Amino acid sequence: MKTRITELLGIETPIIQGGMAWVAESHLAAAVSAAGGFGIIGSATAPAEVVAKMIKEIKETTDKPFGINIMLMSPYAAEVAALAAEEKVAAVTTGAGNPSQYMKMWKDANVKVMPVVASVAMAKLLERAGADAIIAEGMESGGHIGSTTTMALLPQVVDAVSVPVIGAGGIGDGRGVAAAFMLGAEAVQMGTRFLVATEAITHENYKNKVIAAKDIDSEVTGLSTGHPVRLLRNKMTREYLRLEKEGASFEELEQMTVGSLRNAVVDGDVITGSVMAGQIAGMIKKKQTCKEIIDELMAETTTILSSAPDLLK
């Protein structure tokens, strides 16, 4: 498939891996890029030196293009943003905020900029600021989310901007990829499907919890504090939601989750840790390599798109 996004990034398949905190390190990103997609290092709250090491590792593994996700709430966002420009990575994606202040630095270094947005207003603002593409992420996603679904958000963002749009949130297989294309997307970004990839360093307990999840097994915490986060239900989410209902303060709630994502991803604590995952977790049944995932997605997508005219018969 050839779209403005595959051309912009120099990739073979329009599949971008989400920049998942703690999960999206060099092994996963390299495997996705090597398989023809676009791998992304999720810098999350890591300092620049840690991200620099991951960039070095990925460059030693593959010559294919890859990107860096910058989580704008990180205390290290500015130094990682500068590192992305110095290293001239193919593209940066940003999340959880407005990256306008870094835009000139990235453009000057010829780094493509693809901010994640959860609203039309932010998409328009960032197109004006120079974004090369927009990632429209619906609330079906895992982690930090907005409040609109992919089905509703994606076509509205496509109508509002002229740069190419990438659909994200709730896409788990080729049916979801084809649907995103029908809504006007020129690529998709997927996180949850890659959480369980063979190459992902995600702890086996975490992978097994995603595989065991059913359709209704995610919860959204933090709605009362303005920081909504989607995770799979466990002891931590039950306790968090109970405290939230009782009117606990932001600080008290924050205290509960400090280090909890690392505890789940790295140490496998899926009981009191944060098991971030999207609503399509219920569709994920097995662990596969990134190449198997990408090949399967593209085979399903092309079958669906080429049989679409049958619907008119």
Query: Which residues contact ligand TUI by CB under 6 A?
Result: 21, 44, 71, 95-98, 116-118, 122, 137, 143-146, 229, 261, 276
User: Contact 182/154 with Cβ under 8 angstroms?
Assistant: no
Min CB(48)–ligand TUI separation in Å: 17
- CA 150/CA 139 separation, integer angstroms: 7
Min CB(92)–ligand TUI separation in Å: 13
Min CB(59)–ligand TUI separation in Å: 25
**Is the Cβ of residue 220 or residue 305 nearer to ligand TUI in the bound state?**
220
**Contacts (Cβ under 8 Å, ≥6 apart) of 129:** 100, 103
Residue nearest to ligand TUI (CB): 143
User: Residue 183's closest CA among 214, 212, 206, 149?
Assistant: 149
**Contacts (Cβ under 8 Å, ≥6 apart) of 216:** 282
For residue 281, report the phi and psi dihedrals to the nearest 5 degrees. Answer: -50, -35
Helix (H) or strand (E) holding 165: strand 165-168
**Is the Cβ of residue 71 or residue 265 nearer to ligand TUI in the bound state?**
71
User: Contact 138/153 with Cβ under 8 angstroms?
Assistant: yes
Min CB(224)–ligand TUI separation in Å: 15
**Is the Cβ of residue 73 or residue 271 nearer to ligand TUI in the bound state?**
73
Min CB(311)–ligand TUI separation in Å: 33
**Is the Cβ of residue 9 or residue 229 nearer to ligand TUI in the bound state?**
229
**Is the Cβ of residue 122 or residue 232 nearer to ligand TUI in the bound state?**
122
